[in-house]
Every structure is written in structure tokens, then in C-alpha cells.
Amino acid sequence: MRIMYILRSFAVKAGTERVISDKMNYLSDRGYDISMVTYEQGSHPHAFPLNHSIHYHHINAPFFTLSKYPLWKRVLKMRGMRRRFREGFQQAIDKEQPDVIIATTYSMKLLDIVLKAKTGACRLLESHVACFTIRKTYDYRHHPLMRRVAALYDKVAFMRIKKFDCVVTLTEGDAHDWGLHSKNVVVIPNPVTAYPETVLPHDGSGRRIICVGRLNEQKGFDMLIEAFSLISEKCRDWHVVIFGTGEDEHMLRGKIHQHQLEGRINIQRPTDLIYDEYMKSEFYVLSSRYEGYPLVLNEAMSCGIPCVAFRCNYGPADAISHGVNGLLAENGNIEDLSQKMLWMIEHPTERLAMGREAREAARRYLPSVIMERWNQLFRKLTQGEA
């Protein structure tokens, strides 16, 4: 079977890129003919290794560059780039002859071209973020006039989504929201990248809390810093390590300085050896304002460490059983998050027990389990059963 993935780029070491590379490699290893199309990659290297058998096509259509132009010029250049993408995409289809084409919600502006391409392939849409954040009305939620204009954009965008053969979401909560726009919604969580055969003993000697993610508004690291500042005097020998890069790095470092937490909260660049970093940590904290599904929770849990997270939409409540393998704080409540972190610090015996439960719960997300659900979906789509 031939599967084609369409991505804006494959350059950032982030959760979506990692899980898509894992899926492509898994399918390629099992006889699928996999191809990948990007259009904003430029000369950047691939974020994660791909099997040599995966066919790669790049269309030079960097839409993100349009923002630097005045409106009239932006419109003209947008038309040219869309034409370039349409032609390059059709050429890739003609060469690969895919049975299934998979686009993500990060390419919303190009879904009409994906739908109109000349191909007999089934078209599938993957959602990696919460449905409500896809809406332009969410972006302009504080601007009443622009919100009206954005509502028209959303109406057109979601009409396109209805034409896809299937929408795949990561959680049941998000599936409910997408179900308002598609008759065929399937829930398939992300698989863990790996499940270590053995884990190191998390005896608390490291006194380290780990966090991973893009340094942006969504991930809520500003709230994490505030939460840790509330308890820092009660756990003087503990520290936080954040692995990530992003547009909020300067602001976050400023907050760390403001609370005089230099050396207690450290921001480090992403690493390919993140599992080694989980092993060195005592528990994980997820401070996101919203999620599609936080893969990092399952990764951390597979290494035998429990997690503390906001009960945000969507994902943390799917992965964490409160009081069993981790703790859930009220969404956006910084005081509650700080108290959950402090409880985890002050209860080492319970923390270790939660870590053991977390590792067992992560088995639900083994690649062999999750990818079999993708196999079944592909068969249903191509055999007309979906």
C-alpha cells in the first residue's frame, strides 16, 4: 500500500515531527511504500532520521515569508505560491500514485488543493492540536470585529474538512468536537517512540523535575515558572530542567531572573537523547494551556516517572489516572499546580509507586498496539468499508 504524508516542514525537533517520523518508519519497515511531501522545509536538515526507502519531495512554497510584504503584494505572492504548491503536489502524486494521502491540520490553508488534486487516493486528515484552536475565531477571540471576518474563514475551512474521507484525532474529547464537522472521525493516540526494557531507579537523589516542549504560549512554561516559584523555598535542593526552543525563550528567561531562580530552573536545547533525560528525573510536569495529545506524558511514563499536569483540553486526563500514576491540577490554576508538584516532592514512597503504575500504563501506547489501529484504518479506507 502507498501512503503519502503532507507536512509544512520536517525541520523542528518537536512532538508532531517525531511521532510522524516514527509512524512513517514503522510502516516502511513493514512493507508500506511511504512518501513525504514538504513545502516550507527549505535547506534545513530533517529533524529525525527516516528510512532510506521513504521517498521525499520538497515543494519550494514558503508561505511563512509572506507576512513581511504589504497586503497587495502578499495577495499576489500568495497566488503564485499556491500555484507552485498545486503543481508540485500533483507531480508528486503522479510519481508516487498513493492509495492514501494524509494531511495535517497545520496545512489548513491548502486543504482545498489537497482535495482537488487528480488522484484516486483516499484523503485523510490528522489533527495534532485541539479542534477549537484550529479556528481563526480562536486567534481573534479578543477582537470582536476581526472575529466576524474569521468566522467566515472558519466556515469555509470546515466545509472542506467534511469532504475528507476520515479525520483522525488523538483523544475522545477532541473527537467529539471534530464530529461536528466530519461524519467519519477515528481516535488513534500517538505511539511512544520507545519503551525501555529497563529503567533506572528514581530514588529522588537527582532532585530533578523535567519538562519538554516548544517554548511558546501553548505549553504554558510561564505558569510552570510561577508555580515553582511558589514552592521553591520549601524544596531548596530541587531544580527544574526544560528542554525546548521557541519564540518565548527570552520572556521565560526573564521570568526566571525575576523570581531569582537562575540555577533552579534551566532551559536547555532539545536533545535526541530525551529518554536518558527522563531516566535522570524524578517526575514530569506538563503545564500546557491546551493540547492535541501530549506525547511527552507517555514517553516519561514509559521511563517509570509519574506526571503532574493541568487537566487541559485535551489529553492529560486520558494518560493520567489521578492519584494512581500521576496528579492532575485544575486547568490554569497555578496554585493548584504548585501544590501538586510539592506533594510529589514530599511523598517519595508514593511517587515511586506512581512511577511503577505509570510505566505499566504506558504499555497501551506501544507502537505495535497503536500502529495496528492504523493498519486497520488503512484497510477500511482502501476497501471502501470506512
pTM: 0.85
- DSSP of 47-114, one letter per residue? SS---TTSEEEE----GGGGGGS-HHHHHHHHHHHHHHHHHHHHHHHHHH--SEEEEEGGGGGGHHHH
CA atoms within 13 A on the CB side of 168: 20
Among 262, 269, 364, 376, smallest CA distance to 320 is for: 364
For helices 348-361 and 295-302, the axis angle rounded to 10 degrees is 110
User: Count of H helices and E strands in the chain?
Assistant: 15, 13
Is residue 289 within 8 A of residue 221, CB to CB? The reply is: no
| Residue ranges in the chain modelled with pLDDT below 70 | 384-386
| CA–CA dist 282, 261 (Å, integer) | 19
For helices 221-231 and 249-258, the axis angle rounded to 10 degrees is 10
| CA–CA dist 164, 271 (Å, integer) | 36
| CA–CA dist 284, 157 (Å, integer) | 36
C-alpha cell at 194: 520507545
User: Pairing between strand 166-169 and 55-58?
Assistant: unpaired
| CA–CA dist 382, 386 (Å, integer) | 8
CB count, 10 Å around CB of 71?
6
Among 170, 191, 186, 188, smallest CA distance to 26 is for: 191
Is residue 341 within 8 A of residue 227, CB to CB? The reply is: yes
Q: What percent of the chain shows pLDDT beyond 70?
A: 99
| Integer Rg of the chain from CA | 22
Is residue 342 within 8 A of residue 231, CB to CB? The reply is: yes
Residue 385 has what pLDDT?
55
Question: Three-state SS for 268?
Answer: strand
Write out the H or E segment, with its range, that includes residue 144.
helix 144-161
C-alpha cell at 375: 493498519
| CA–CA dist 340, 346 (Å, integer) | 10
CB proximity list for 160: less than 8 A, separation 6 or greater: 111, 112, 115
The pLDDT tens digits of the residues spanning 19-34 come to: 999 999 999 999 999 9
CB proximity list for 168: less than 8 A, separation 6 or greater: 124, 125, 126, 127, 185, 186, 187, 188, 377
Residue 147 has what pLDDT?
76
- DSSP of 162-225, one letter per residue? TTSSEEEESSHHHHHHHTTT-S-EEE-PPPPS---SS-----STT-EEEEES-SSTTTTHHHHH
